[in-house]
Chain A
Amino acid sequence: MGKQGKFMNTDRVTPSYKAVEERIKGFNEFLIPLKKEEVQEQGARCMDCGTPFCHPSCPLHNLIPEFNDNVCNNKWEEAYNNLIWTNSFPEFTGRICPAPCESGCVLGLIKDPVTIKNVEYSIIERAFSSGLVKPQPPKERSGKKVAVVGSGPAGLAAADQLNKAGHEVTLYERADRIGGLLQYGIPNFKLEKNIIDRRVDVMKAEGITFTTNANIGVDIAIEKLQKENDAVVLTCGSTIPRDLPIPGRDANGVHFAMEFLTQSTKRVHGDDIPKDEIIFAKDKHVLVIGGGDTGSDCVGTSIRQGAASVTQIELMPKPAEGRTDQTPWPTHPGPRMFSTSSSQQEGCEREWSILSKEFVKDDSGKLIGVKAVSIEWKPDNSFTEIEGTEKTYQVDLAFLAMGFLHPDHGGPVAELSLDTDKRGNVATDQQYRTSVDGVFAAGDMRRGQSLVVWAISEGRECARAVDSYLIGGVSRLATKAK
C-alpha cells in the first residue's frame, strides 16, 4: 500500500488559504484545494503502518490507511467507498474536524503527519463532483418508523443509518434550517451552508423526511412521536452554555457566542434580523471570553463584520508550543497544545491566564469594558490573582464562549422525565437507551459537548442500537466496534 518510503522524501503539503485581507471580505470558505496529483502525493506519504494509530485516534475509526492508499493509487471510487463506510458526512469532518487522526499519525513522530483531513476532504469533494454520491434508497422497507429529534450531526447520522436499514425516518428540527450546530454554530467561512443542503438533498432522495420549525416538547408533544413511531432518537445537543456570573453580566453587549454566531449565519443567508436583536461587530471593540473553537469562530465572524478590535482571553495558561510529557504522541493534545486558528490569524490579540472580574457598563447599561486580572496557576490546578495586574479592556461586545454545560432539561427531557447523569446529560445504557423504553439518545445530549466527528459516531452507533432493537436481533449496520 502507499508508496514505499515516500514519506522520507516528500513533505507535508496542506491547502493554502486565501490571503487574510481577501478572505475577511466575505463569509465564504477560503481554502484553495490542492490539485488531484498533489493530494495523491500526500496520500502516498502514508506508511501503511502495521499498527496505524491514526485509525483508532479517529472517533469513527476511519479506514485511513486504506483510503490513503486508494488515493495515492488514483482509486477515488474505492477511496470514497472506504470513507463513506465509516463516516456518514466526510464533507463536514473534512472541513471542520480538528483531526485527532493526524495527532495519532505515526509519521508525526518524526515528521509532519499525513494530511489525512485534507485527503478526506478531497475524496468527498471529488465524489460529489464526479457524481459518485447519489441517493441509494434502501432496497426493502422494514415497515418500522423512527423519529429523530434534532438535526445536528448526530441526528443526521442516526437518520441516515436508520434509513439505510430500511426504517422510515422523520427528522425533526426546531430551527428553521437543518444542521444544528453545523448550521448555526459553525460560521459559513468554515462550512458553507450549501454543503449541508447538498447532503440533505441526498438524504431526502433516499426517503428521509425532514421537518423544520418543529420544537418537540413545545410545538409537538413527544408523546405523539412515541405513538407514531417504533422508536424515538433524541439528538438535541448540549445547548446550555456556561455563563459568567460576574458583576455587570446584564450589561447590554454581553452575549453568548451562539447568539452571535447564529445571527451572523442568518444574516449570511439573507434573513431579516429584528432591529432590537441585532448583534453586529462593525467598528466595535470585541472581547471573546474563552479560547476554544467557538471563541475562534466569534473572532473570525467579528473580523468579517468589521470589528474595530478583537481580543480573546482565556482563563487557562498558555499551552506549550509542542507536545509535552502530558501530551505525548499519539494523544490528541487539543487545547493543551498551542495552536493558532485561521480566525486568530486574521488579527486578534490573545491573552491567557486572565480572570474576568466585572462587566463595566455605562449609565445606559451598555457594555463599555471588562475588568480582568492575570492569574497564576498552581500545580494543584488552583490559581491566585496576581496583584497589580488588574486592567480594564475597552469592550463594546463581549462574547461568552466557555463551552456548554448540558442539554436543555426542558423539552423532551422534562416531558419524559428522562434520567440524567452527574453532568446533567441524558443517561443511557451502552445501547443508547434512555430510561424510557423506545427512546434513545445520542450525541452531545448524551455525551456532553464534543466534536462533530464524535457526534457522527454517536449517531451511527445509536442507529445500530435502534436497528437491533427494532429487528430484535443483531443489526447489520456498520459499527466501529469489533
Chain B
Amino acid sequence: MKKKTTDKFPNNGLYDPRYEHDACGVGFIAQLRGEASHMIVKKGIEILENLDHRGAVGAEKNSGDGAGMLCQIPHDFFRKEFDKQDQTLPAPGEYGAGILFLPPEPSQKKWVIERFTAIVKEMGQRIILWRDVPTNNNSLGKMVREVEPSMAQVFIARGEDCDDADAFERRLYVIHKYAQKMIRESGKPGSSYFYISSLSYKTITYKGMLTTSQFPDYFLDLSDPDFTSRLALVHSRFSTNTFPSWPLAQPFRYLAHNGEINTLRGNVNWMRARESIFESDLFTPDEIAKLLPIIDDTQSDSAILDNAVELLVLAGRSLPHVMAMLIPEAWAGDSEMEEKKRAFYEYHATLMEPWDGPASIAFTDGHIIGATLDRNGLRPSRYQVTYDGILVMASEAGVVYYPPEEIEHKGWLQPGRMFVASLDEGRIIDDGEIKKELASARPYGKWLDNGKIELGALNRVPSPHQPDHDSLVHRQTVYGYTKEDLQIIIRPMAENGVEPIGSMGSDTPLAVLSDRPENIFNYFYQLFAQVTNPPIDPIREASVMSLVSFIGSQGHLLSETEEHCHVIELPHPVISNDELERLRMVDQAHYRARNISTVFAADETKPGSLQKALEDICKQASKGVADGCNIIIISDRDADKVHCPIPSLLAVSAVHHHLIREGTRASVGIIVETGAAREVHHFALLLGYGASAINPFLVFETIEDMRLRGQLGVALEAKEARRNFKKAVSKGLLKIMSKMGISTVQSYIGAQIFEAVGLSQELIDAYFSGTASQIGGIGINEVEQESLKRHHYAYPDQTLSENIRLEDGGIFKWRARGERHTYSPDTIHMLQQSTRMGDFELFSKYTDLINHEAEEHNTIRGLIDFVETTPVPIEEVESEEEIVKRFFTGAMSFGSISIEAHETIAIAMNRLGGRSNTGEGGEDVSRFEPRANGDSARSAIKQVASGRFGVTSHYLVNADEIQIKMAQGAKPGEGGHLPGGKVDKIIASVRHSTPGVGLISPPPHHDIYSIEDLAQLIFDLKNANDKARINVKLVSEVGVGTIAAGVAKGHAEAVLISGHDGGTGASPQSSIKHAGLPWELGLAETHQVLMRNDLRSRIVVQTDGRIMSGKDVAIATLLGAEEWGAATSALVVSGCIMMRQCQLNTCPVGVATQDPELRKNFPGKPEYLVNYFMFLARQMRQLMAQLGFKTVNEMVGRSDLLKKRENVEHWKAKHLNLDKLLARATSPNCTAYQTEAQDFGLEKAVDHQLIAMAKSALKDGAKVKGEITVRNVQRTVGGMLSAEVSRAFGGQGLPDDTIYFKLDGSIGQSFAAFGAKGITFEIEGEANDYFGKGLSGAKLILYPPKESTFDPHTNVIVGNVAFYGATSGEAYIRGVGGERFCVRNSGAQVVVEQVGDNGCEYMTGGRVVILGPVGKNFAAGMSGGIAYLLDIDEKSRGRINIDMVAIEALVDQKEISEVRSMIERHVEYTGSRSAKALLDNWNPGRITKVMPRDYKRALADLAAEAVGKKIERASVRQEPL
C-alpha cells in the first residue's frame, strides 16, 4: 500500500514511516443480557471522550490521531435507511455491510466503486445498496481534511453459494482482501484512498482521523436513536506521527490494540514464509490465492496483527483460541500452570512464534467480546460489571459513570490473562474457563509426547573434530579474533559466566570508517525500546523469558494435527559440537539434515567469488528443501589455507531470505556452525537473521586452549568453562531481547531487531531485506575484500621465523597498533593541558587533532565539510558569553562519579550560565543553596530516571529543567545496579536508601509503557514544578525522529538526542559497542521529522555524544540542535584519563570512585571547565562568522551549508551517501528552532482550587480542610499543591494533616504524584494507575464509595504501579491494588488488602502491609524495606521471588506493635472490615515478613555503626543489570 503521506510530503530525508508508533486508549462496553440499545453506543462515545487524554493532537489542535468505534450491525437503523431508499434490507445474517474509504474526486470514486462492484460479482455476491456515510467535517483541521476520504457504506447480499452466515463471512473476507489488493495495486489516481474499514455481517467499524471529541459529531449515524448495538468497542489513538492516515485509526476488523508488536518484522516474515503452505477446508485454493498476501506490511503493527487474527479466525479457530495462540501466557516458566494448559501453549509454540510485545487487546467478533493482556502485563485494563449486566472495560477506571450501588464487581486484567463476555450466553467467561476449554479441545499433550523430540533425546554422535592447537591462531585470525577478544570478551564469559563489562563508552570508528577489515557483525546495531514500548528486566522478571526454540518442518497454520508438532526442541540457542553432530546425523523418521559448506576460494585475483558462493549456497539450500530436508546446517568449518569463510551472518541471512522469497522457509530450520561467533552480539545477530541455533566451534576451542595454557583466572573443567560461556551468552541474549521488550527467543529468531550503518542498499536488499541502512555504504565486494584481508593475514605468503600472533585489537583499550580512538593519549593530554593553562592556542591544536582524526574517518561528521558562503564580521556575531549558555553537561550521578567531580562540574556550569545534570541519583539538599563565595553547586537539570532515586517534590522544585531519561547512550534499554558496597552513607541519604543496600534501576520506567504514559509523566513533572523545562532524553537510533515527534506531542519542551558513544560507569561491552547510533543520524532525523510535522517550533532540540570541538558544535547546530552537551570531555578536563574501569571503584584520579583516599587525588577545578566551554564557544563563534550567522538560532537546521567532503578516498567510507542526512527540512508553518511554548493545560487543573483552598496553610501553616469531587480525566491531582508546599517549606514539608482534602469519585492517573508532607487526601471512590507516584510525605486514604455493595477486600480499587518511587509518606487502601504495587518504594508506609503481580518490586525502603494474597513474582529485586503478608499459604509462598529476600516469621515485639498500629490506622481511616476482623482476633503469627537479606544485614551493620568503615575498604564491582 502506498501511503498517502508520501504523496503529500516528498521524502528526501531520513524519515521512514515504518518507524511510526502508536499507543492508545482502548475500551468497550457490552450489554450481557437483553436487546441491543442505543444507550450502549452513547456510552461507548462517553468512554471514548473520557479516554481523550490518552490520544494526542498534532501541531494543529484540531488534528487528531484517530478515533473509532466498532459495534454490531445496527439492523434497525439500516432498515430505516433502506426504507428511505425504497429498498428492502434482508434479514440479519443474510447481508453484510461495510464502510469503504473512497477517493473524494468523483471520477476516481466512480472507478473504484465500479471495480469493487465487479469484484463482488466475481465472488458470487451481489451489492444491494450503496450509501454515502453522512459526515460532518467542520471541526477537522486543514491537514486532516486535505486527505479525508469519501466514506461509503456498501451492503452485500449473501449469495446462494454461501451455505451459511459463516461461509458468507469468509466470502466477504475474500472480497475485502482481494478488492483491497486489486484496487490499491492498480496504481490508478486516487486508488491509494481505498480502504475497507470493515465488511461483515456481524460488525461494523466507524473510524477516522479524528479526535475523540470530533468523533460523535463527524459520524451522524451514531446519534440516531435507532442505531443500536449490544457492544461498542472504542479506541483513541496516540501516534508519534501526525501525517494524516485515516486507515490507521482503530478498531480494525476484530480488535483494538493498545501496545506494540516488537517482533513485527519476524512475524511478518514468518507469516509470509508460511503462505505457500496454507491449506484449508474452508477456503478454496483460488480463494487462498486471492487472500494473499495475508499481511499488508505497510500498515501499523496493530493492523498487521488484525490481519493475522482475521485469517486464523475465519479459517476456523475461535477468537479466544487465536488470541491465546498469538499472545500466549508465559507458560514455560510458570510453575503454577496446569499440564493441559501448558501443553496447549507448547503445542501452539511449535506452530507459531509469539507476537511479542506489550499489548492490551480488546477483541470481538460480534458474538463475544473480550480482552487479553500480554505476558508482561504492561498495559492497564480495568473492568466492572453492573447488576444490570453492563460490562465496561477500559484502559482506566472511571471512563463511564455508574452509581456505586449498581456495581457488582470490579476487576483488572492480569498479565497473560483473558476474559470474554459471551453475548449469546449472557455471561462473563473468565480466564480459567476459557483456557480450560481451549486446552481440552484436542489431545495436545499426547500429540507433543508423540511428536516432539528433545535435542538431548537424539542419538549421541560424538563430534569427529578434535582441537588443533597448532593451527588455532591461524584459524582465529581468519575469523578476526584479536587478543582483546580473548582477554576482554571470552575470558570473563568462560571464567565466570558473566558478560564482559566496560565503561566510558566507545570512541572507535564505525565499522565502515575503520581501516581494518571489520567483521560484518560490526555493521549492525541492536535496536532498543524507548518510550513506545517498555524493555523488560530479564533478571528480576525471568519467568516471562524463554530461550527455547523448535526446529523441523512447520505444518500449515490453518489446521491442527499431531504432525504439526513433529519438531525438535532446542533448549538453548548455543549448541555444543556433540549436539550439532546429533542434529547433523539425525536419523529419525521425520527429520533430515543437510550440511552446506560456506567457504569460498581465497583468491584475491578473482573478485566476485563471495557473491557467487552465496548464490551457490542458496541453490544448495533450495535443493535441500526439495530433497525433503528440514534442517539446514550452514557451516564455515572448512575454512583453511585456501578457503575463506563466508561471513556466517551473511550466509545465514542470505539463505533465510532466499527461502522466504521461495516460499519454503517454513519447512526448514537453520543451524549455524561457525568459527566467527564469539560475542553475544554475534549470537543475537545470527538468531535475528534466521538461525535457530549456533555452534560456535572455534570459541569452544579457544576456551579450551586458554584453559590449558592457564589463561583463565580460575581452575575449571573444560565442560564448566563451556557451560559458563553458554551461560554468559544466555544472559546477554536475554538482555538484548529484553531491551526491545521481547520475551522469547522463538519470536526473536528472524525478527531482525537491528539496523545497519555502512552497508549499501543493494547489499541490504539482496541479503538483509527489510533492515534499515540510512547512509548506504559498502557492497558485497568490499565485504569480500574484508574477508580476504583477514584470510591473508592468517595465512601469509611470507614466512617469518616467528608464528603469527593475534592482533592487539585496541578496541576496548587503546593500543598503538590497534584501532583509532578519539580519546588518545595525545588528545587527552592536549585537552587537559590547554584547559588547565587557559591556552587557546594549544586548545586549537587539540581540536585540529580531533578534527583531523575525525577526517581520518573516525566519525560521520568527519566526512562533512562546510559549504563556502559569505562570512560576517565576527563582531556582529552574538557573544561567546551568550553562546556558552547553550551548553549542558551529561547526566552523571553522584555515585557514579565522586562528589568532588560532580560539584566541580555543577559550579563551572553555573558560573557559565549553562546547565549541569544531577544524573540518576538525587542531589544533597545542601547544594540547593548558593555558597558564601557566590558559587552554586546546584545542578540546574534534575534527572528523573527509572530508579527514581532521590526524586522528591523538594528535589523537583529545585530544578530549572527536569530531564526524563528514556535511554542512555552506552546501554539503551537497560537498567543498572549499584551494588551495596558502593552505597555509602552519603549516597544512601541522597538516594533515600540504606547504606550497604544495593540499588537497582529497572530497565523501564514503570510509569512509561507507551507514548501516552510519557505524556502523563511529563504532565506530572510539570505539575511538580511548573517553572522547570521538561526534557526527554532519547538515544539515537533509526526512528528516533518519530519518537521525538511523539515526545513533542506529549508536550516535552526539550528533547535530547544522545549519541551511542556516550560514557557510562559500567555497561556490557555488547551494548557499548553495538547499540545506538551516532548523534548525527538521530539528530538529523529528529530535526527533519519535527519540521515535517510542524512541531519543531514547540521543542528545543539538544544533542550530545563526543562533541569535542567547535566544529562538532557547528555541525550539530546545522543538523538541527540548538543546545549541546558534553560529558566525557568534561570529565577529561576535570582529570579523567580514560582508565575505562569506572566499574571497579579504583579510579586513580578520584573522578569515578567513592574511595576517600582516591578522591583526594581529584585534580579538577571549575576554572578548567570554564576555559573548556569558553574555548568551544569561541570556536563556534568563529565558525558562525565564517558561515555568515549572527545568531545561533538562525543557524539551526541549516544543513544546506554542509556537504560531504569531496576528498574521501577511504576504501569503505567513499561509498557512504550523506544526502538524506544533509537534506534540509523547511516548513512555512514552523520555525527551525523552539519559539512556541507547549500548552500543558495547567490552567484547567483542579489544583488551582486546592491551592486556593489551602492558602492559609501555604502561607503560615494553618490547618485547612476541604471537599471536592474529581473525575478520571483530572490527572495528577495534588501535584501543584505539593510543589507549593515544597517551595514554601522545603523538604520537611508541613506537619501531618495540615492540609486535608476529602475527594469523591474515580480519580485520574498519577493522583498525588510527588505529594508533599503535610497533605492528606481521603478519597471515596477508586483510583487509576500511578497512584501516589513519587510520594514525598503525603498521606493517602482510599476506600470505595460507602454505597458500594461489592466486597472491597476482593475488588480492585487502585490501578497499576501505585507508589512508584515513593520516598516517604503513608497510605491506606481498602481494596485490591494492581500490578507492581509499591514498585521502587523507598520509604512509604502502605497498607493494602491485596496486590497483583510483581508487588514490591525493586523496593529499597518503607513498609507494606498486605492483608490478602499477592500476585506472582512478589518482591523481585527487593533490596530494602519490609513487606508483611497475611495468611500466606504454599501457593502465595511460591509466588514470592526469593532471589533477594527471606521469608520470616514476625516475632519481634516492637515490630509486631508497629505493624499492628499500621493496621489499626487502616481500620480507622478506611473502615476496612477485613482488617477489623484481624484485629479483633489478633494473632501476629498469621503475619509473615518478607525481608530482603541485604537490608537485614545493612540494618544490623548500621546498628553496629560498622557500615562506614566497611564501605571504605570494600572493593566492589558494579554489575549492570
Contact = CB atoms under 8 A, between A and B. Distances in A.
Interface in B633-660: none
Interface stretch (B327-335, B610-618, B822-830, B973-981): B822-830
Contact of A166 (B796, B799, B1158): B799
B1291 interface: no
Nearest to B823: A51
Contacts of B821: 51
Interface stretch (A53-61, A189-197, A306-314, A333-341): A53-61
B1146 A8 contact: yes
Interface in B679-731: 710-711
B829 A330 contact: yes
Contact of B1149 (A110, A331, A481): A110
Contacts of A136: 801-802
A57 to B, nearest CB: 8
Contact of B1139 (A50, A63, A476, A477): A50
User: Max chain B CB contacts within 10 Å: which of A48, A75, A85, A206?
Assistant: A48
A4 B801 contact: no
A56 B816 contact: yes
Which label, helix, strand, loop or mixed, suits the secondary structure of the B interface?
A: loop
B808 A63 contact: yes
A109 to B, nearest CB: 6
B1510 to A, nearest CB: 16
Contact of B1148 (A110, A137, A163, A477): A110
A8 B815 contact: no
A140 B799 contact: yes
Contacts of B823: 51
A53 B823 CA distance: 12
Contacts of B828: 51
User: Max chain A CB contacts within 10 Å: which of B796, B801, B1157?
Assistant: B801
B820 A137 contact: no
Contacts of B1139: 47, 49-51, 106
A325 B837 contact: yes
Given A110-B1148, A325-B837, A328-B833, A51 B825 contact: yes
Contacts of B826: 56
Interface in B946-978: none
B257 to A, nearest CB: 46
Nearest to B793: A476
Contact of B1137 (A49, A56, A85, A137): A49
Contact of B515 (A57, A165, A482): A482
Contacts of A365: none
A480 interface: yes
Nearest to A84: B802
A47 B816 contact: no
A413 to B, nearest CB: 32
Nearest to B837: A325
Given A51-B828, A482-B515, A109 B805 contact: no
B478 to A, nearest CB: 16
Interface in A462-482: 471, 473, 475-477, 479-482
A141 to B, nearest CB: 10
Given A49-B1137, A63-B808, A482-B817, A1 B487 contact: yes
Interface in A1-55: 1, 4-5, 7-8, 47-53, 55
B457 interface: no
Contacts of A164: 800-802
B829 A49 contact: no
B479 interface: no
A90 to B, nearest CB: 16
Given A53-B1137, A109-B1137, A328-B833, A138 B808 contact: no
Contact of B796 (A1, A476, A481): A476
A140 B814 CA distance: 35
Contacts of A75: 710-711
Nearest to B1141: A50
A422 B813 CA distance: 39
Nearest to B1158: A8
Contact of A4 (B800, B1144, B1157): B1144
B842 to A, nearest CB: 11
B794 to A, nearest CB: 12
A471 B797 CA distance: 10
B1140 interface: yes
Contact of B813 (A52, A163, A481): A52
Contacts of B383: none
Nearest to A164: B801
Contacts of B6: none
B1137 A5 contact: no
Contacts of A56: 816, 825-826
A475 B800 CA distance: 10
A105 to B, nearest CB: 11
Contacts of A48: 813, 1141
A48 B1140 CA distance: 9
A75 B712 CA distance: 12
Place the interface of chain A in its size category. Answer: 35 or more
A52 B808 CA distance: 13
A473 B797 CA distance: 10
B800 A61 contact: no
B801 A137 contact: yes
Contacts of A106: 1137, 1139, 1148
Contacts of A473: 797-798
Contacts of B711: 75
B1056 to A, nearest CB: 26
A65 interface: yes
User: Max chain A CB contacts within 10 Å: which of B483, B1137, B1138, B1145?
Assistant: B1137
A7 B1148 contact: yes
Given A56-B825, A328-B833, A471-B798, A51 B814 contact: yes
A109 B825 CA distance: 14
A182 interface: no
Given A51-B828, A328-B833, A61 B801 contact: no
B818 interface: yes
B816 A49 contact: no
B1511 to A, nearest CB: 14
A66 B837 CA distance: 34
Nearest to A54: B825
A206 B1138 CA distance: 42
A49 B823 CA distance: 13
Interface string B203-219: 00000000000000000
A5 B1515 contact: yes
B373 to A, nearest CB: 45
B223 interface: no
A60 B89 CA distance: 94
Contact of A330 (B825, B1146, B1158): B825
Contacts of A85: 802, 805
B798 A47 contact: no
Contacts of B1155: 8
A107 interface: yes
Interface in A59-96: 61, 63, 65-66, 75, 85
B813 A51 contact: yes
28 contacts: A4-B1146, A7-B1148, A47-B1141, A48-B813, A48-B1141, A49-B1137, A50-B813, A50-B1139, A50-B1141, A55-B816, A57-B825, A61-B816, A75-B710, A75-B711, A85-B805, A106-B1148, A110-B1161, A136-B802, A139-B799, A140-B799, A164-B800, A164-B801, A206-B801, A473-B797, A479-B817, A480-B816, A481-B817, A482-B820
Given A4-B1515, A55-B815, 10 more contacts: A49-B1137, A50-B504, A51-B813, A52-B813, A136-B801, A139-B801, A140-B799, A166-B799, A330-B829, A476-B796
A-B CB proximity, top 6 nearest: A50-B1140, A61-B816, A51-B1138, A138-B801, A110-B1161, A51-B814
Interface of B: 483, 487, 504, 515, 710-711, 796-802, 805, 808, 812-818, 820-821, 823-826, 828-829, 833, 837, 1137-1141, 1144-1146, 1148-1149, 1155, 1157-1158, 1161, 1163, 1515
